[in-house]
A and B are shown apart, each in its own frame.
Chain A
Amino acid sequence: MSKTKINRRNFLKVLGLGGAGAALAGCDMPSYVTLEEGEEKIYSYLAPEEYVIPGVGVWYASTCLQCPAACGTHGRVREGRVLKLEGNPNTAVNAGKLCQMGQAALQAHFNPDRITEPLINGQPASWDDALALINEKATKNVAWMTGAISGHQRVLLDAHLAATGKGRHYAVETINARAWTDAGKAVLSDAMPTLHLDKAEAVLSLGADMLGTWISPVTFMGQYGQFRAAPRGVLMAVEPAMSLTGANADQWVAAKPGTEAAVALGVGHLLMTKHGLSLNSMPNATSAFQSMTPARVQDIAGVSEAALNKIADTLASRKPSLVVANASHAAARVAMALNIMLGNVGKTLTPGASIVADPLAPIMGSTKDLAEFAQNADAGKIDAVFITGANPAFIAPQGLNMAAALKAVGFKVALATCHDETTKVCDVVLPLSSALEDWGTHVPAYGGKPGVVHLQQPLMEPLHAETRGLGDILLTLGKSAGVDGLEAFEDYYGYLRTAVSAMIGSEQEGDWQRVLQAGQFEAPAQDHAFSTGSDVALGFSENADAGLHLVTVARQGLYDGRHANSSWLQEAPDQITKAVWDSWAEMHPKTAADFGLKDGDYVSLTTQGGAITTRIFTYKGVHPKAVCVPMGRGHTDYGRWASNGVNPLTIVDAHLGDWQSSEVLATATPVKISAVGENRHLVRLMDTDQQHGRKLVATISAQQFGRTQGGA
C-alpha cells in the first residue's frame, strides 16, 4: 500500500463498499452504496460500515493467483482478517468452485516466512535505497521474468520494458499448454479454442491433465460433472504415468514416455481403416495415419492392439467426442487432426475468443522462455533482470546452467513474497504483497466469458508494513523510467480505477462498486476464426531409446513447487499415491522386480543432467519403461515446510528434443536407476491400496448406469 492516499480509513471505505452482493442479500440494502466524494469520515472499529456486523463475515470478491487459471474468488472477511476463500459464483471460469491450491492461498498470504522488508545483498534496506539502486543499475538491457501474466500489470510491465531499452519479457511456466496452443495455432489458427467437455460423449486425453493442472482445471472439473451425468461420457487417457485425469479414466492406457503421438496416430489409423473416416483436407496427417499400424504402435509405445482398438471404437461410436493432448507438440497436432476427422470441430471444439484490448491479453508462459533466458543471459545480452512469480533457480534443468546464467546477469531484482532459491541469488529483493493484499486485473486465459476481466482486490490490510503490491512497484518503476502518463497516479489503485473506469465506460462510483462486488467486468472480445484445418507437418519422430525414461508430472497441490511452503498442501495427500511430505519415484512393480527392488527402497536416479536419490513407490499406473517423479519438492530454501524431498526438475534432460517444440512436461529423459541400499517407509494417508473385501467404493458398469439413470 502506498503511503499517502490509501490509509486505513480510506482502505476500509474502499474495501467495505467493495463487498460482494451476496453479503447484502437479505439485508434489504441496495446492491451498491454511494459515497460522496471528498468527504472525510472517521470510522471507528466499534461502528464499522453500516452493513458490517461484528461477528458476521462479509464476503469480498477477488481473484486467485495460485496458478495461471485466475479463478474468481470470494473471501470471507471478519474483523479485518480474511479467513476463508471460496469460488466466486459469478465468474464463469470456476462457477463458484475452488481447487485445493486456491483454498491454500490463505497460507500463502499468512505464511510466517514472508519477506518483510527490502534486502540489498541480503541485508535489510529501505525502499528508497532499493529503488535508488534499481534506478542506477537497471537502465538498459533490462529483462523481466514472470510467470503467466495478464491485465494491467502486464501493461505496466511492457511499458517499463519499452522505456528501458526494449528488453524482453520472459514468461516462465513449467506447467503450461504450449504443445496444445501451438498446435491450435498451427492447425486451426486458434491457439485457445473453447472445449465443451460437457457436450462430449467421449474424451481422449494424451497427457493433457484436464482435471488436474491443464489450462483451467476447475473449469474442466465443472464440466466433468455434467460429462458424467446421463448420458454418461467415456474418458480415455494415454500417458506414461497416471495423472488425476488418468485416475478418472474409464480406460487408462500406459504408453512409453514420449510416444503418445504414435498412439494418437494409431488411433487415427484405425479410424480410417476400420471405421471409414477420412481427412482429405490434411494429406500429411492422412499419410501419417496410414503408416502407423497398430503393430507399430505396439512396438513404439508398448500399447496393445486391443487397447488401441478400444479407443478407436469408442471414438467412432460416440459422437461428438473430443481429443486433447499436451504430451508433445506432435501429439497435440495429431489430436487436432483427429478432432477434425471425427467432426468435433464446431461441436465440442469451437472457436475461442480473446479480449480486444490485446495489451491485457494473457501470456501463458513456457519453459521455452526459460531456456531462452538462460541462453541470452549466458551470451551477455541481459544486464538487469526483474524476476517475479518465477523461481528459475529451482525449476531449471541442470542442463540449462541456470546458476551460471543468473550469475552472468549483472543486476538481479526479485519481487517476492517468500524467500526462495532465486531470491537468494538476487542483488535486490523487494517484498511483495500477497495476492490477498493487492490490486490487479487478470484476463483468464480460458473458461471465462469472452472478454471478461477478473478483478483482484485486497481482502485485508497488508500484514507487513513494508510490503508493496506488484502494480504499485511497477508504477514506481515506470515513473522512474519515464513512462508517459503515470505521474497522475499516486498508487496502483488509482491507476487501475481510472483504467477500469475507462474500460467500462463509466466514472460513476456506483459502477466501480458494482465491478468490485462482481469481481469482474466484461470488455469487448472477438471470436477467433477457425481455419478448416491447415495441413501442417506433424513433427512426429520415434524415440529409439528402449530403456527406462524419467518423466516428471505436476500434481494439483504442490504444482511446480511454488506451493511447497504451504503446510496444508504438503499434508494434503498426493492424489495418486496418497503420500505426504516427501518425494518418491513411481515405478511399475515389474520394473522394480527386474531391478530387485521393493517398495520403499531408495534408488539413485541418474540422467545426463545429474542424479537424485529417492525411494520408489510401485503401482500399476506407470508404464514399465517409465519412472515418474512428480515435481514440487526438493526445495533448499523455501521456508520451514519446504525442506523435504528431491527436485526432479534438476535432472530432466534439457537437451533432449528441441526446445522450440518440447517442454519439460513433455520431456522423457533416459535414466539409470541403482539401489542405494536404504529402505524407509513412505508416509502415506493409507498403507493399503485394496478394499479387503469391504464394499467401500463400489463400481458398476456403464451399461448398468445407463439402465438406471435413463441414459443411453
Chain B
Amino acid sequence: MSSLLGNIFKGWSDYSKGNEEGGHHNYEHMYAMVIDLDKCTGCNACSTACYAENNLATVGEEYFGARQAMHWMRIERYFDEPNLEKAGSEADADTQSHGASFLPMMCQHCNAAPCEPVCPVAATYHTPDGLNAQIYNRCIGSRYCANNCPFRVRYFNFYDHQETAWPAPMEQQLNPDISVRSKGVMEKCTFCIQRTRAASNTAKNEGRAIRDGEIQTACQQTCPTSAILFGDLLDETSAVHQAWKRHQVQLGRYTQNKENPELRGYRIFEELNVDTKVLYLERVREV
C-alpha cells in the first residue's frame, strides 16, 4: 500500500521536476531523431519496413478510404513551398518546377506530449528513455489521446484485422517481439522500442553503455539515403546529439534562440510547446 502511495508521490515529483529547464532531468536516455528532408527521396521504404517490423495490419481499400488505416510512419507529399522564393518565369506557375516536398511523419515522442495527460487509464506515458510509450494491454480505447495529438499520428484499431491482413501462412511473418493488436486499442510509432530494449539488455549483460548506432529503428535502418538518424540526445558522442547541437535546436523551448537563424533544423508545430523530439532539416532547392 505504501508503495502505491509512494508511486503517486514519486510520479508527481518526477513530473514537476521534469518540467523545469527543458524537462529532461533524471532521464536515462533521451531518444530522438533527425530527418534530413533534403536527402529524403520519398521512396516509402521506411513505411513498409515499419509494417514489416511492427506487425502493422493492412486494411484494404475500403477502410483506407474511410481513413481507418494504420500507417505508423507515413510519407506525406506536398506540392506547395510557401517558404521558398519562387524565382522563375510565368511558365513555372504551370508546372511543378521544384519537384515535390516529402515529409516522413510519425510519432514525435513529445517531451510534453499532449496525449499523455488525457488518457483515463494511463495507457500512454513517458518512459525514462524519453519515449512516449503506448501500453496496449491497458488501453481501453477512449481515443482522447488521438484527438489531442496535433500531428495525428495515433492510430486506432477500428477492427480486428488479423484474418484479413495475415491469412495463413502470413502470420508466420509476425514479429514475436511485439504484440498483434486487437480491435479497440490505440497504437503508434514506438521508435522501435523492442529494438531499444533488446539493445539495452545486451549492453547491460555485457556491462557497458549502449553505443551510438547500436539501436537502429526499422525506418532508419532501411532508409536508402540515410536521411533518418536515431540516437540518444543525452549521449554527447551520438550523431543525433551533434546534429541537434549543430543546428542549435534545444529541447524545452517553443521558440529557438539560434545564433544563426539560417540553420536548417526545425521542429514541426514547435509553437504548441509540445517539445517534439524529431528534428527536421529543411529541404533545399536550387532557385
Contacts and interface: CB of A to CB of B under 8 A. Distances in A.
Direct contact of A and B (CB under 8 A): yes
A488 to B, nearest CB: 35
B48 A620 contact: no
B268 A251 contact: no
A580 B172 contact: no
A697 B102 contact: yes
A554 to B, nearest CB: 13
A685 B74 contact: yes
A467 B226 CA distance: 38
B61 A683 contact: yes
Nearest to B170: A110
Nearest to A87: B222
A606 to B, nearest CB: 26
B75 interface: yes
A211 B78 contact: no
A79 B45 CA distance: 26
A697 B99 contact: no
B95 A571 contact: no
Contacts of B226: 97, 222, 225
Contacts of A244: 41-43
B282 interface: yes
Nearest to A557: B44
A100 B285 contact: no
Contact of B58 (A218, A570, A588): A570
Interface stretch (B5-13, B20-28, B131-139, B259-267): B259-267
Contacts of A675: none
A500 B79 CA distance: 51
Contact of B224 (A221, A306, A644, A690): A221
Interface in A78-100: 78-79, 81-87, 94, 96-100
A696 B78 contact: yes
A103 B78 contact: no
Contacts of B42: 244, 247-248, 575
Contacts of B173: 81-83, 106-107, 110
A644 B65 CA distance: 14
Interface residues of A, number: 100
A2 to B, nearest CB: 22
Nearest to A225: B225
Interface stretch (A160-168, A383-391, A704-712): A704-712
Contacts of B169: 110, 112, 463
Interface in A242-268: 242, 244, 246-254
Interface in A197-253: 211-212, 217-218, 221-222, 224-225, 228-229, 232, 234, 237, 242, 244, 246-253
Contact of B39 (A85, A87, A224, A251): A224
Residue from the set A103, A568, A704 with the largest chain B CB neighbour count within 10 Å: A103
Interface stretch (B82-90, B106-114, B182-190): B82-90
B209 interface: no
Interface stretch (B49-57, B115-123, B140-148, B234-242): B49-57
B212 interface: no
Contact of B53 (A84, A98, A110): A84
B250 interface: no
B100 A699 contact: no
Contacts of B74: 573, 685
Contacts of A277: none
Contact of B97 (A218, A228, A251, A619): A251
Contacts of B101: 691, 696-697, 699
Contacts of A217: 43, 224
Interface string A97-135: 111101110110011100000000000000000000000
Contacts, number: 283
A686 B39 contact: no
Given A100-B48, A110-B173, A701 B284 contact: yes
A221 B79 contact: no
Contact of B49 (A98, A570, A590, A685): A98
Nearest to A574: B44
Interface in B66-99: 69, 71, 74-85, 88-89, 91, 94-99
A701 B80 contact: no
Contacts of B200: none
B99 A250 contact: yes
A463 to B, nearest CB: 6
B52 A567 contact: no
Given A580-B61, A698-B266, A690 B80 contact: yes
Contacts of B45: 97-100, 102-103
Contacts of B58: 567-568, 570-571
Contacts of B172: 81, 110, 463
A228 B44 contact: no
A582 interface: yes
Contacts of B49: 86, 98, 100, 103
A502 interface: no
A578 B77 contact: yes
Contacts of A306: 88-89, 91
Nearest to B176: A78
B168 interface: yes
Contact of B41 (A98, A248, A254, A582): A248
A691 to B, nearest CB: 5
A145 B78 CA distance: 42
Contacts of A681: 65
B80 A571 contact: no
B33 to A, nearest CB: 16
Contacts of A79: 176
Contact of A708 (B102, B168, B222, B262): B262
A6 B22 CA distance: 60
A694 interface: yes
A620 B79 contact: yes
A170 interface: no
Interface string A457-476: 00000010000000000000
A211 B41 contact: yes
B129 interface: no
B256 to A, nearest CB: 13
A98 B285 contact: no
Nearest to B85: A701
A23 interface: no
Given A218-B224, A707-B262, A695 B284 contact: no
A232 B39 contact: no
Contacts of B77: 247, 575-576, 578, 686, 689
B60 interface: yes
A60 to B, nearest CB: 15
B223 interface: yes
Contacts of A708: 260, 262-264
A219 B109 CA distance: 32
A568 B55 CA distance: 11
B39 A228 contact: yes
A254 B98 CA distance: 11
11 contacts: A99-B43, A100-B47, A102-B45, A221-B225, A247-B77, A250-B98, A251-B97, A573-B74, A685-B71, A686-B77, A696-B78
Question: What are the 4 closest A-B residue pairs judged by CB atoms, nearest first?
Answer: A221-B224, A581-B61, A100-B48, A697-B101
